[in-house]
């Protein structure tokens, strides 16, 4: 069985030494590179493509979120696990959106660290319960978009919600069709469905009701 190749990226050298020492206690894992910042991490990946990257978030120059994006764009097969402190919640969603497969708190114990690396290699998502709570809080606090409010309030589909917003802004069927690259007939069918869900058959009244929901 091939060893799991791991690249460590952190600007705190003491932490790097500790992580390396823990990982090398497991015969299934090999630390193939160490980098102190995002630029060095990209170079290290080019020289010896790892299976898993343990990536610090806060670093000078290219931070961990941006570095993750760059790595995943060029090497999508590499799994990136973010190393974070409990107070880095503002970066959590950004890193996940940019391809990170999960998070590890920097106070993780050795046994859990080894298992997290193995799970990441298998393609699992790694989210400690404390981090999961943070993500749930961020999502809950994020205001709903206009389309999301319409979908939630009226039960509109994604496309219907998109058209409903345009309808409320005064777009006619021809303009909606042109903007969305679909036929006027298709737009008419969607608008009819929106009317049914609103319980209204008048375009002006429909626009007013939609506006009240999204404002």
Per residue in 201-215, pLDDT (tens digit) is 889 999 999 998 887
- Residue 201: how many CA atoms within 13 Å on its side-chain side? 0
51-105: pLDDT as tens digits: 999 999 888 888 898 999 999 999 999 999 998 875 666 677 788 888 899 888 8
Q: CA 156, CA 178: separation in Å to the nearest integer?
A: 21
**Domain boundary assignment for the chain:** 4-141, 146-214
User: Residue 1: its pLDDT value, please?
Assistant: 67
Q: With a cut of 60, say whether residue 49 has pLDDT above it.
A: yes
Q: Which two tokens stand for residue 141?
A: 């606090």
pLDDT at 46: 95
Are 54 and 81 in contact by the 8 Å Cβ rule? The answer is yes
For residue range 127-141, what is the model confidence (pLDDT) as tens digits? Answer: 777 767 666 665 555
pLDDT beyond 60 at 167 = yes
Residues 1 and 28 sit within 8 Å (Cβ to Cβ): yes
Q: What is the pLDDT of residue 185?
A: 92
In this structure, CATH architecture of domain 146-214: Orthogonal Bundle (1.10)
**What is the 8-class DSSP label of residue 166?**
H
| CATH class name, domain 4-141 | alpha beta
To the question of pTM greater than 0.85 for the whole model, the response is no
- Joined together, the tokens standing for residue 117 give 């690396």
| 83 HSE (CA, 13 A, CB side) | 23
Q: What percent of the chain has pLDDT over 70?
A: 91
Nearest 5°: phi and psi at 4?
Answer: -85, 120
């Amino acid at each position: 069985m091939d060893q799991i190749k791991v690249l460590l990226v952190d600007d705190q050298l003491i932490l790097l030494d500790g992580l390396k020492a823990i990982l090398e206690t497991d015969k299934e894992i090999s630390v193939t590179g160490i980098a102190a910042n995002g630029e060095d991490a990209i170079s290290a990946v080019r020289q010896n493509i790892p299976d898993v990257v343990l990536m610090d978030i806060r670093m000078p120059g290219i931070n961990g979120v941006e570095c993750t994006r760059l790595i995943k764009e060029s090497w999508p097969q590499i799994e990136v696990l973010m190393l974070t402190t409990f107070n880095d919640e503002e970066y959590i969603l950004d890193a996940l959106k940019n391809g990170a497969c999960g998070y590890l708190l920097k106070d993780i114990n050795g046994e859990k660290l080894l298992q997290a690396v193995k799970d990441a290699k298998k393609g699992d998502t790694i989210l400690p319960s404390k981090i999961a709570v943070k993500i749930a809080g961020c999502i809950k606090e994020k205001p709903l978009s206009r389309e999301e409010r319409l979908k939630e309030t009226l039960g509109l589909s994604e496309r219907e919600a998109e058209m409903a917003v345009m309808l409320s802004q005064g777009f006619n069927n021809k303009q909606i069709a042109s903007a969305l690259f679909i036929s006027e007939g298709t737009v008419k069918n969607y608008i009819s469905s929106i009317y049914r869900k609103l319980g209204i058959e008048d375009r002006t009244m429909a626009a007013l009701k939609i506006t009240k929901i999204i404002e």
